[in-house]
Amino acid sequence: MPTIISHPAVPLALAWGLGRRIVSSRLLLAGIFVSIAPDLDVLAFKLGIPYGAQFGHRGASHSLLFALALALIGVCLHRYLRSSALPAFFFLFVAAASHGILDAFTSGGLGVAFFWPWSEERFFAPFQVITVSPISLSRFFSHRGANVLLSEFLWIWLPFMSLATLFALARFWKNQGGHSA
């Protein structure tokens, strides 16, 4: 899995690219939360639930249904999030679904149960380019953890922030009327 540090890259990039008129600060914070929320399933280890079980790591909480449920909660709270319902839904759905998608690009684990509860099959992306993060903190604060962060910078932060910058520049250019000042 990517670290808790890198899952928020997607909502942060979306917010920067789309701007504050579409993504309020509250909606952004909700997006950051839902981008991390699927990894609350690591608590299953403490409950004795095996990694590969449907409620184990990368199981039900990494599914598209879970992302949909989080997005629908956001729709119910859209006024509090200072957003209209449709942008809140799409922003939160993408932020939550991005978690499993990023996990599918990692070099370890058992894959992601995208289609739970209809299927418990787990999937990987065609290329597993992101170095998988160790779950234990002691292993993370080691040479391996540094390699994970470098991998996440190269495969998550750099591409998403580059794309967000392009969208922000396009938005700026549009707001300037396509004229230089």
Rounded to whole angstroms, how far apart are CA atoms 40 and 58? 10
Please state the domain extents for the chain: 9-175
Residue 117 preceded by cis peptide, ω within 30: yes
Residue among 57, 51, 11, 9 at smallest CA distance from 31: 11
Counting Cα atoms < 13 Å in the Cβ hemisphere of 86 gives 0
Which residues make beta-bridge pairs with 123?
Answer: 112
Q: Is the overall model pTM greater than 0.75, yes or no?
A: yes
| Contact present, 124 and 112 (Cβ < 8 Å) | yes
Q: What does each of the 181 residues of the chain score in pLDDT, given as a tens digit?
A: 688 899 999 999 999 999 999 999 999 999 999 999 999 999 999 999 999 999 999 999 999 999 999 999 999 999 999 999 999 999 999 999 999 999 999 998 899 999 999 999 999 999 999 999 887 777 777 888 899 999 999 999 999 999 999 999 999 998 887 655 4
Q: What is the pLDDT of residue 30?
A: 98
